[in-house]
Chain A
């Protein structure tokens, strides 16, 4: 009888590190890890998507966000909202290392679009209900995976490390579709910042609350884990002072330079909204 060792992933590494002394929550799925940790005396819910070779949906065995994963995230976030409805609103931390969404015939048929919508909905609902929601990007954050698991947070944090990538499509596929080489795409990312695969370029868009440097993303030391935990806790405190919504991402020096068009559109729309 062979024992299947779970595929390692940064999501699993960081979940296990941050949830070391936490109360695990049974999700019924090998691909969805949830736990309630205690940080500085308060309960914090951690969620991560990890590879599960035994996932009963074959197209979601390598860390993709699939049908059951989306609904499970929605379930466990809403569970926290309901449990805390007349209590302190525990922070909710999405540990983000998602390959992408799951691609498959069954996924299409059974409405994976709605599964991901449900996850995004739950995180947004938690945010609007007063739970501080933080996304910690430790690996890849691609496309639908990020939209469902992370993008609805108050604040996005990322590790400043190789392999931390935010993008709409895998580089090889993007190269194919735009008819460029991978090298040409890399070059393009230097001037067309939203196309860059480099997290430091991504940070210029003003979407990140913090880029955490000096961390070994694959094998962090105890001190590094503590540092990351401290930065997330600081983000939680910041959220409690000024929660805001996603438009807060437009209110920083980087956005004023590299998202000038976003700001201009909203400003001009407001000017034209009511007929003169």
Chain B
């Protein structure tokens, strides 16, 4: 048997080692993702499964609830600094926000703000894997998502609020507004960010407007790389837990942005005024028109 050995070129070895030690975030459940971002031994879950704060509304409709209602709130250290991770479980009801799940996030943000205001800084990180408001809780899901928005707008005056979109569920509906309000947004190439899901656009506007099965088109409009290249996200990261953690740490170190993306009203109005809906740009064209870092 002939054994072939490759030369131990440092670059090759390092990359091979990194590849072997790479941990996919996309393959992790929400609880694992939160654990992966926090320093070893520091993970502490609040309102976990055994607290049994379930949806009061799903069983009434014959839908099996989850013990944590699909959101994990975990405190701990992220690269040595106090952090709270709010992770949405995309496998449960598509990550849809219900009364309890959204209240866990809004409540955690409020407590983080209380801490920051009393000189106990804590970094808030949202793992956004969600279709938006959970339809089966409609008006309450919506009302509490509005509370999440209010909390972020208040909290980001004290500390940067970091949003992360990994996929494969993506970040849609009212929670895409949440992403738009974050101080910094990290996105994976597999991630998608948009107010309306492709199926909903196709349903409401017709298949000529958008074919929801056309994955290339979908990612060219709302995929991670597109959003990053057109300034809607601050970092594009490969699917690796350690890389993601470092990116979050680096973004947090920048501090609160002087102006948040959602405050750049005049810049976006001007940019939109230059777009002609009768001769609309496609994804690649928009990258040339709205290069990242352009909306200053």
Contact = CB atoms under 8 A, between A and B. Distances in A.
A and B touch in the complex (CB under 8 A): yes
B228 interface: no
Contacts of A111: 180, 230, 232, 268
Contacts of B103: 261-262, 265-266
Given A71-B268, A207-B143, A269-B73, A105 B232 contact: no
A71 B265 contact: yes
Contacts of B21: none
Contact of A117 (B53, B55, B56, B180): B180
Given A116-B180, A117-B262, A169-B135, A270 B195 contact: no
B111 A269 contact: yes
Given A71-B269, A268-B47, A273-B111, A109 B99 contact: no
A113 B193 contact: yes
B177 A148 contact: yes
A109 B221 contact: yes
A21 interface: no
A203 to B, nearest CB: 11
Interface in A98-117: 101, 103-117
B146 A152 contact: yes
Interface string A233-270: 00000000000011101000000000111101110111
B142 A118 contact: no
A231 to B, nearest CB: 21
Contacts of B248: none
A223 interface: no
A116 B195 contact: yes
B243 interface: no
A120 interface: yes
Interface in A47-86: 56-59, 67-68, 71-72, 74-75, 78
B245 interface: no
B116 interface: no
Nearest to B104: A265
A128 interface: yes
B145 interface: yes
A188 B204 CA distance: 24
B274 to A, nearest CB: 11
B73 A124 contact: no
A120 B286 contact: no
Contact of B138 (A58, A117, A118, A194): A194
A269 B195 contact: no
B100 interface: yes
Contacts of A112: 194-196
B61 A113 contact: no
Interface of B is mostly: helix
Interface residues of A, number: 76
A81 to B, nearest CB: 11
B283 interface: yes
A257 B133 CA distance: 22
A38 interface: no
B177 A113 contact: yes
Interface stretch (A12-20, A88-96, A170-178, A212-220): A170-178
A152 B210 CA distance: 31
Interface in B108-142: 108, 110-111, 133, 135-142
Contacts of B143: 151, 205, 207, 249
Given A71-B269, A192-B60, 11 more contacts: A107-B196, A112-B195, A120-B262, A169-B138, A195-B57, A205-B140, A261-B56, A265-B103, A266-B103, A269-B104, A275-B75
17 contacts: A57-B277, A71-B272, A72-B269, A74-B262, A74-B265, A75-B265, A103-B204, A105-B209, A109-B222, A110-B275, A118-B262, A121-B263, A122-B265, A168-B138, A261-B55, A268-B53, A275-B75
